[in-house]
A = this chain, B = another copy of it.
């Protein structure tokens, strides 16, 4: 009997270990809060039960699913594209700074300079050509300080969270201030999120069929800025339902979390707080990317979970 009891114990332990949906999250209140919420909304006997069709989860991308320091990776892409331009085409300080790989000088040219660099690298080509250029870049580009490929700088705990939610019949969406066409190049391989579930900022596309070969051309005009109050608008436009789970990391995500957590019925708002200078980057109130002020001030009072990256995450990168 002792042998049987021991075997049972080992079996139970094994099941518990195997059943941990978030192995890269340290045991504690943060992990428990996530699991308690998911268990409540998926338990038909719970008063917080939510039908699978309404289990919508939305995730910011930069700084929430993958890193965003020292600047958004899409900017590194843009700079690398500008580096390929002829010197005679570098007609402004912004383009010259980008071609020289000088981030500080580029940022000093302000929003207009940044838009000029984005226009030079993102427009005047078809959507297909643009996606091909992003895919080709990702094949060889590496992050300037970590030396890692950009697609390796996704957060292992967040991959587990996405997977856990999908296993519990959530639909997982990306709702990003970054470019929709850019993120769609990585969404399936990096996050297992289909391109139709990527919502982002976008430029106006124009349909041409003059040549007999129809194509969609990317123009420099902004179509939609999927940031701040734009996020709930885009969620409604694209998904057509109010999410029950939202995760972000900056004040650009505030309204998305607010919209999600002010619904009738159960909801969950989560902020990834970048507190880990050793394994990743530490920044919040004073950062020029991923600035988080209002979220830290108001989030806890609104019942939002603030994830402390340094203490809540056992690992950061999938390769650890």
Contact = CB atoms under 8 A, between A and B. Distances in A.
Contacts of A216: 232-233, 236
B237 A202 contact: yes
Contact of A207 (B184, B196, B205, B259): B259
Nearest to A197: B196
A213 B262 contact: yes
A279 interface: no
Interface string A206-220: 110100011010000
A240 interface: yes
A303 interface: no
A229 interface: yes
Given A127-B236, A239-B196, A241-B196, A255 B214 contact: yes
Interface residues of A, number: 32
B194 A53 contact: yes
A247 interface: no
A255 to B, nearest CB: 6
Nearest to A194: B53
Nearest to A131: B240
A129 interface: no
Interface of A: 53, 127, 171, 180, 184, 194-196, 198, 202, 205-207, 209, 213-214, 216, 223, 229-230, 232-233, 236-241, 255, 258-259, 262
Given A195-B241, A205-B237, A214-B258, 9 more contacts: A171-B196, A180-B240, A195-B239, A196-B241, A198-B240, A206-B233, A209-B258, A213-B262, A216-B236
